Amino acid sequence: MQRVRFWGTRGSLPVALTAPAVRQKLIAALRGASGRVFESDRDVERYIDGLAFDVAGTFGGHTACVELVTGGTEYVACDLGSGLRPFGQAAIARHGPAAPQTYHLFVSHVHWDHIMGLPFFGPAYIPGNRVIFYGGHADLEAALRRQMDPPSFPVDFSVFRAAIQFVHLAPDRPHDVAGMRVTLKRQHHTGDSYGYRFEKDGRVVVYSTDSEHKLTDPRERLDFAEFFRDADLVVFDAMYSLAESISVKADWGHSSNIVGVELCQLARAKHLCLFHHEPAMDDAALAKMLAETQRYEEITRTDSYLRVSAAYDGLDLAL
Amino acid sequence: MQFQSRHFGNIAVATPAGRLDHAAAVPFEQALSPLWQDQQAAGLVVDFSNVEYISSVGLRVLMIAAKQMRARKARVAAVAMQPIVAEIFAISRFDSVYEVFPSLRDALAAMSPTALTAYDGS
């Protein structure tokens, strides 16, 4: 396992950066540049690189799709959110449409935001490619076919020209897929969701989204800590604040930054990546949440440091 | 965890001490529940002056208390928080669930003249 690339990081539905939001970023950047002299493009780039991420960049708006670069020749990704489209386009651009590729796609669950990218996944339309869907839900294939049935989409699932395969994976025991050891864990979410633990070459990545932690069952807390144990990276559903997640948004199937830090510390994980961002949160709000989460990690740190970051579309993490 | 409770007028005051973490969550809930079940209380104040740390499960107990009190239009307040606990309140957004005051007296003054009189006379 070498890298993790984030193609979609938003929860529930895609969002787009608006013109007023871009204007605010420009105002902030230009105000900061007042009085400066830029001798070259490199000077401009250096200035931009020094700006806060929520001013110079954006957390992005595609729904869940996370690529694992395993070191093998085949592609691996988690979830089929709208980020699946740019993931597929990038793969086609890398190899050209004529070179057959294999795609292993792991699905957390079949709610719309996690499957909406599939009809726009270019590699599925190309003969010679192999696309293999993995999941813990018995109705995975039916759900993927149904979203393309008329009148919801112009063409149905049968137009895919790649070789399509569905593989059901039972939770709580390891499976060998694409040179990885893959273990699923059932999570609290309406209709269930599944977290994935991927292990290869001594590296561990956990993908745990759309997962509510009830805080009432000590056994469950220990089970998740074991699932996250010593992970190099935990991609974690931190959609809501703790207060929201246990009050007005209880039973909505999501978790918080606070619980993410606590579980990762208990598991002695190395890196927590906040994921499945609330669509109502703009870049400034997400940057604030990240800073607060890093501070919470600092407050609660015992003997080992937990790196905390926030996923954004385009983030490319080395393991 | 240690725990004391008092009443000033119609306001119940809880004073936990120590770390409100996973080890303390159950005893904290057991100790606090009689206060939120007290139908005569027009408000609940949690005095954090002796609390060093509160984790998610400790905050969950506070959320139960807040829901129960608010269901009968009673108020909830957190007072005298040490800086670390105040930060955790802000990060978890519990500062939008509980009214936050610098001191117990400030909270009682805002919540109930009767309670303030009782406090000043105590």
Q: How far is B84 from chain A (nearest CA, A)?
A: 7
Q: Domains for chain A: give ranges and CATH numbers.
A: 3-17+58-318 (3.60.15.10), 19-55 (no CATH)
What residues of A are in contact with residue B94 (Cβ under 8 Å)?
242-243
pLDDT, position A215: 86
Q: How, if at all, do strands A65-69 and A3-8 pair?
A: antiparallel
pLDDT, position A301: 95
CATH (domain of B64): 3.30.750.24
In a domain, residue B120? The reply is no
A73 pLDDT band (50/70/90 cuts)? confident
Q: What is the ipTM of this complex?
A: 0.93
* B119 interfaces chain A, CB cutoff of 8 Å: no
Residue of B nearest to A294 (CA): B91
Indicate the SS3 state at residue A1: coil
| A251 C-beta neighbours (distance < 10 Å), count | 12
In a domain, residue B103? The reply is yes
* A288 interfaces chain B, CB cutoff of 8 Å: no
In a domain, residue B121? The reply is no
A3 pLDDT band (50/70/90 cuts)? very high
CA distance A234 to A105: 18
pLDDT, position A216: 86
pLDDT, position B89: 97
Range of the domain at B27: 2-114
Q: Check CB contact under 8 Å for A215 and B91.
A: no
Distance of alpha carbon A102 from the chain centroid: 20
Q: Check CB contact under 8 Å for B22 and A218.
A: yes
pLDDT in tens, A200-216: 999 999 999 999 999 88
Across the beta sheet with A203-208, what order do the strands follow?
A175-177, A180-187, A193-200, A203-208, A233-237, A271-275, A307-310
Once rounded to an integer, what is the mean pLDDT over residues A287-316? 96
pLDDT in tens, A110-149: 999 999 999 999 999 999 999 999 999 999 999 999 999 9
CB neighbours of B57 closer than 8 A, spacing ≥ 6?
Answer: A215, B21, B22, B25
* A280 interfaces chain B, CB cutoff of 8 Å: no
Indicate the SS3 state at residue A80: coil
Q: Check CB contact under 8 Å for A215 and B87.
A: no
pLDDT, position A235: 98
* A255 interfaces chain B, CB cutoff of 8 Å: no
Q: Which residue's structure tokens are 């018995």?
A: A138
In chain A, positions 190-229, which contact chain B (CB-CB < 8 Å)? Answer: 215-216, 218, 221
* B91 interfaces chain A, CB cutoff of 8 Å: yes
Whole-number average pLDDT of chain A: 96
In a domain, residue B71? The reply is yes
**Distances from the Cα of A305 to the Cα of A8, A222, A261, A294, A299, angstroms:** 27, 20, 11, 10, 11
CA distance A59 to A281: 10
Q: How far is A5 from chain B (nearest CA, A)?
A: 28
Q: Are A147 and A116 in contact (CB under 8 A)?
A: yes
Residue ranges of chain B whose pLDDT lies below 70: none
What residues of A are in contact with residue B96 (Cβ under 8 Å)?
243
Give which of B26, B49, B29, B47 is closest to B37, Cα–Cα: B29
What residues of B are in contact with residue A221 (Cβ under 8 Å)?
22
| A43 C-beta neighbours (distance < 10 Å), count | 12
What residues of B are in contact with residue A300 (Cβ under 8 Å)?
53, 55
pLDDT, position A97: 82
What residues of A are in contact with residue B63 (Cβ under 8 Å)?
243, 246-247
What domain count does chain B have?
1
Q: How far is B110 from chain A (nearest CA, A)?
A: 24
pLDDT, position A98: 86
What residues of B are in contact with residue A259 (Cβ under 8 Å)?
56
pLDDT in tens, A214-265: 988 889 999 999 999 999 999 999 999 999 999 999 999 999 999 999 999 9
Q: Check CB contact under 8 Å for B88 and A296.
A: yes
pLDDT in tens, A90-105: 999 998 888 999 999 9
Q: Check CB contact under 8 Å for B56 and A247.
A: no
Distance of alpha carbon A240 from the chain centroid: 16
In a domain, residue B105? The reply is yes
Q: How far is A11 from chain B (nearest CA, A)?
A: 19
Question: Given B56, B87, B97, which is nearest A295 (Cβ)?
Answer: B87
Beta-bridge partners for A274: A236, A310
A284 pLDDT band (50/70/90 cuts)? very high
CB neighbours of A213 closer than 8 A, spacing ≥ 6?
Answer: A188, A220, A221, A224, A255, A259, A263
Is residue A60 predicted with pLDDT exceeding 90?
A: no
* B70 interfaces chain A, CB cutoff of 8 Å: no
Residue of B nearest to A263 (CA): B56
CA distance A319 to A3: 5
In a domain, residue B122? The reply is no
Once rounded to an integer, what is the mean pLDDT over residues A165-172? 98
Q: Check CB contact under 8 Å for A246 and B63.
A: yes
CA distance A259 to A239: 11
CA distance A55 to A27: 9
Q: Which residue's structure tokens are 């440091």?
A: A305
CA distance B118 to A150: 71
Indicate the SS3 state at residue A233: strand
Is the N-terminal amide bond of A151 cis, ω within 30° of 0? yes
Residue of B nearest to A248 (CA): B67
